[in-house]
Structure 1
Amino acid sequence: MKMSFLSLPDWQRAARALLMVLLIGLSLAWLFSRADSISIEQHQDYSRQLLRLQQLDAELNASVLASRYDLYRNFDRSSQGVKDLLAITRTLTQLPDYLPLRDRQPLEEQVARLRQASLDKADAVDRFKRETAILRNSQSYFPLITDSLIRDGVLQPALSREVGIFGRSVMTFLLSDDPGRGERLRQEHDRLAGVAERLPPATAETLRILLSHAALILTHKPTLDAITHDILELPTHALGDTLGQRYAQAYNQALQKARRYRVLLFVVALGLGIYLVMAVARRRRLAAQLADANRELQERLEALHQAQAELKRYATVFTNAREGMVITDASAQIIAVNPAFTEITGYPLEQIAGATPAVLSSGRQDEHYYQKMWSALKERGQWQGEIWNRRRSGDIYPEWLSIAAVRDSEGETTHYIGIFSDVTERKEAEARIHHLAHHDALTGLPNRLLLQDRLGQAIREARRKGSQVGILFMDLDRFKWINDTLGHDAGDHLLRTITRRCLDVLRESDTLARLGGDEFVAILPGLQQAQDAGLVARKLLAAITQPCMLGNHELSVTCSIGIAVFPGDGTTDSLLLRNADAAMYRAKSEGRNGFQFYSTDMNTARLGELLLEHQLRGALERQELCLFYQPKVDARDGTLRSCEALLRWRHAEEGLLTPDRFLPAAEESGLIVPIGEWVIREACRQVRSWLDAGRQPVRVAVNLSGQQFAHQNIVQLVRDALQEYRLPPQLLELELTETILMRDIERTLVILGELCALGVSLAIDDFGTGYSSLAYLRQFQVHTLKIDRSFVNDIQEGANDAKIASAVIGLAHSLGLRVVAEGVETPLQQAFLANHACDYLQGYLFGKPEPADRFSERLQRSWVMA
């Protein structure tokens, strides 16, 4: 017979009640601990770390790209980015305590993969910094050494031009993605390395240093590009996304389990008491439900806001991107395009929606090409390459296309995203650059580089066929006189006319090239006998000597031609050109207007240049050197403001010689230094003479040579000259080229500062033709920029030279500098420069260089001090 609870003694009832309360308390405590095991602080902190990971990864990629393209000159951001990325991955290894064991292991594995990818990226960034430092070092020194070799005149002209072409090709390679260009440059590097073995030790060492920098550029640039690509392609971002998704799943499972325990706790608590207890439990349950609803609503609102912000960013990128974007479904039917797509192709969305990208096909790519593209998309999920498509207008254009497949969680492709850019302008620019690199800008003829290639081909073909090759080296007689007398426009017109006449004489298989100035070379392949070259030379002479109208003048120009024939006169292109050049000099010495075949004694003819140098050594003592003066006028009203002193040599036999005839010899022999000192003193003496004669004060500009600036105490020389002739320093202006200023920046800044302290005016001559940097231009204490005549010759509204001249004027004025345009020969040039606020003008339009006595008469007529 069972005993009821009420019939038990009081102590037993108390004991049972106490035991029941204890059990209920323990159960409630256990349930409460399980229900409240999730820490919101830990969850929020871990979620913030995941978001921080994605931000750090994106910032690191951006800093690497910025360093790669020299937007950042140091690696502080990249180093800090790597440090922060590794720190955040270490933090993520500490998973929240509330996660169940079965969920922790997959998360720990995912964190380990993320940690390893971050370490891989850190290693790649370290290699990136080393490679970038190496490349930047060579990239900085390479153009300076190239310029030093060329400007110092230590190389023979042909080798100097080859080094210049090689330098420009290497710098172009830095901006190129063409692997073939690197291979060609390595071949040219190896060839120049062989040439260096035959040079004097000092010159060879400089050339080897140049080639070592070039080798570093050719080696490390592709490596750096590959490392940059590896860094950007490392899956840290994707692994971070996956970790975030898996953590969210584990957190939701833990949250659901905690909720079940809370429900159970509520049920147990609900049955504990009577109405009061039930009322309290009901209130708690309602509060808990309300808190859960608020929390869930807050989470949904935050997720919605984040999704809306992300969609807005994506929409902004999609709408404003300059690249065309197209989105298709899994069957490649177009469902969306951005405005850039419509601008490039001409197709709006409403017209192309539902169609496939095949509507853009140009037919240039065959079926095999597209099969390879789709195969890559299926295997790797992405493809990129150059492709030719057709616009709505029917025009065919090249584009660089990248396609990525979008897959769902099960790996099934749901969409394709294509991003492309129109590369028409880039291809046209590449074609123009290639043409300019191999052709003369004035005549359109092949230049020396293309000439050597054509000559090499002709020699190889002649060896195969057993034929001969004729090389005709042509030089127009007294062309310099035409330039000096009639101006450069007349000279350019004459060169173009001679080019057309020669091309009319030559066969289609022949090659006519312009080496520079008035020098031309014709290659005649497939000759059966050497005398055939002489027949062609006679035809060329007859064509060249025909009268030509140059402005209002009808002139006949003669030509001297030297002939060398392969294989009798040489078996290499350089030897044949050198021998043809020697034969041309013999033709000139024999009275010009004729041709000569090469003979072995002709190379001695060049000894005449040594004779010129010998005569130049005594020119100062014999007082054969003199200064001519050319006016500089105010661009607004044509008033004479200052002048430039120009050196001339009154040669006893050859008459008045301009600097281009004898200064190269002076620079090679070192005579340029005493000649330059004489020019400064003579200019100061002449200005003093004008002042003593009652003439108005005029500032005179003197050109400084590179050797004079580098090896002479120019500051002391100028100070002594000013003191000797009691000349106010503001009446002396020194002109230096960009190349001179950039050779030794620190020394240049010191010398310019000391010259400014003397009170003399400083000008940068031939601005725009050298390697100067705008960053240094702000530091140079100069007062004037002179626009080179090459930008003034063809100046007109809308032309590139006009834009350059206008930009230089604006730049100079923004820096507080005066602007002088030289080479002004037409009223059109004067009007354009005046309208664009150029300060002063110099050129034949206002006066040719003239002796001091005639210039003194000009001073007496009109002058206003600037």
Structure 2
Amino acid sequence: MTRAAFALLLHTSSSIRLLVLALIGLAGLGWFVVEAGTSSAREHLRYARDLREIRQVDAELGAAALARRLGLAEDWHGADAHLARMGELLEDLGRVPDFLTGSEMAAVRRQLDHYTALQIDKRTVISALRVLLDAPPQNGGAAEAEADRLLRQLLALQTAREGERLVESYTDGYVASQTRMNRHRVLLVLAALALGAYLLLTALRLRAVSLTVSKAHADLQEHAAALGRAEAELRLYATVFTNASEGMLITDAHSRIIAANPAFSRITGYSPAEVAGRSPALLNSGRQDAGFYRRMWSTLASRGKWQGELWNRRRDGSIYPEWLSITAVPGEGEGADGQPCNYIGIFSDITERKEAEARILHLAHHDPLTNLPNRALLNDRLSQSLLQARRDGRGAAVLLLDLDRFKTINDTLGHERGDSLLLEICARCRRVLRDTDTLARLSGDEFVIVLPDATTADVSADTARRILDAIALPCRLGEHEISITASIGIALFPRDGGDESTLLRNADAAMHRAKEAGRNGFEFYTEDMNTSSLGRLLLEHQLRGAAERGELLLHYQPKVSAADGRLGGFEALLRWQHPELGMVAPGQFIPLAEESGLIVPIGQWVLEETCRQQRAWLDAGFDVPPLAVNLSAHQLAQPDIVATVAAAIECHRLAPGLIELELTETMLMRDVDRTIRTLVRLREMGVRLAIDDFGTGYSSLNYLRQFPVNALKIDRSFVSDIGSDGAEGKIAAAIVGMAHSLGLDAVAEGVESEAQRAFLQMHGCHQLQGFLIARPAPAREIERFLSRRA
């Protein structure tokens, strides 16, 4: 190694060390920025939370004292708890966040001291009021007057206003600290940018040094291998020409063939001897015109090379596609005028590639299962149909078809049978449609039909009816014969949209309206559909985080014994108190939660809140029966559902028998084997299980015997059928009898009349639930209900 190369190496090592040190410094700056922001945010959240809570506790303390004075509270337990919490919060607020400056902290502490003094005064007044109210009644008029005076003195204390001032004092300090922190961050960012620039300059210097060293090394190697490389190249060229898989031709300056390799013979069928001295034009297939070859020779003359795709003819007359590259070899030596002395052509047979491209193109535009056009090809065909309709001044229609309850078939019979059903549906639709119509599959069980010349709505309606009739015919899948229906939404061009996306979107909205109308039908698009869909979308967005914002709450509806009216349990019912819309009906937001997947975290909140409320009632001394919680299908499908239920029960120190889970028939039948395993584990834990809305699903008696449940809940639709004379109650009576034969409790929902109660009691129903017994109510009203029954 030369002395210059050694010096370069030493310089490179030194630069690498500097680069590493700079990277460590940059990482340290980043850590400092992140850590400083995290610490201040954590302290701010703690202090702000305590400020909010102390104001709430102060208000509740005054309310508790007022309630005791007015006789609304029987003891001072509530006031004592608020006084204790007030002391804890004052002590906590004494730890002012250290990101404030000395003067800011002093201002907060001064205000806190003033607030603390007022709280001490409030505590003194409450103590005096307590002594006066708890003392035996003496001199009633004077005592009452003194109590009123103390209460007025308590209410006159400006603790709420001083609490606001304390918040303002802290807020001023916090805003100032954030301003300082942002200023420091800007300085740190500038330092980081300067360090980054230094890193960039160092990297560029390293690259320049590396290139210099590499070039010196390459020069040495090149001088050593020059002679050997020339000899090896000659042998290599001969080997490549002979063994190449591509066909090769060498011609003279007049395009006469002077050499051809074996691959040329294998591809074209001509031997080298047959083509020697002839022009490559003997391979011409005639598919390219004379203009094509003029452009090819013009490019060769100007650039010295040409490549492209063309079609040639083999010796046996068959035509094939090939990729051809031609290079002009200029003459060398004295007398050469720069004109080509040879041409070298290299080509390959691309028949297989062309076939593969055709297959890929087909797959890119067609659904792999049904071979129908996919979304990409649909958009192209729909665009062409709309273009033709505009040009001819006529209409077109887009029909969006979605199979009803197809997921149930997939879940119960398997995806293979589901695919067979899709293929049968496609075949039926093709028989109804014309050759000019387009049938495409968007995804899953969703299809789109384009009618390019639907001049009137009647044409679209007639097509939709014939498709629905064809789909509704029974279909045999293996040993099963099933019937399925579909819902179709129709959007007309140009009335319902002038482009592809608008028509598809409006047809989708109409399809959803058809499903809401009862399925197995079709609907034309109207403008109010998108408005309704937008409302559902906004409501779904607002539902996210509703639990965290405290908007969700539970109401509880009692269940009583049909025989003697004793309380047998409660069902927890979810409610949404929207800040603007008020109380949102469960039928509006629970389906949205199920469709969007929000039902899983919401269901978790309901389970946790139910367990918490059960523990609160037990701690208050109430003898509370089991609380029932509705479990959604999404929750039951979670692999950790058993562990989730066990954790909620254990966290609140409940006996498992105090929690009952209600599941619908349809939910239980989705994956029977897995469901049975899950239910067995829940029962082994001690949790009660009930089948909700029994009679509206499709469970078989064989499976029903295997489900380890405790009760069947009769759907309210069967209870409402019971007339004033007990008529039309046959299904309810049959379910009660079935429950008795299986050793299960029968619970009737929706009991609203004495006639229904008498009928169910006569047939041996175990428990009743409904407005006749009690309406769902919040926890506080339930506590009064429990107190009256104690």
Q: Verify same fold: TM over 0.5.
A: no
TM-score, structure 1 normalization: 0.38
TM-score, structure 2 normalization: 0.41
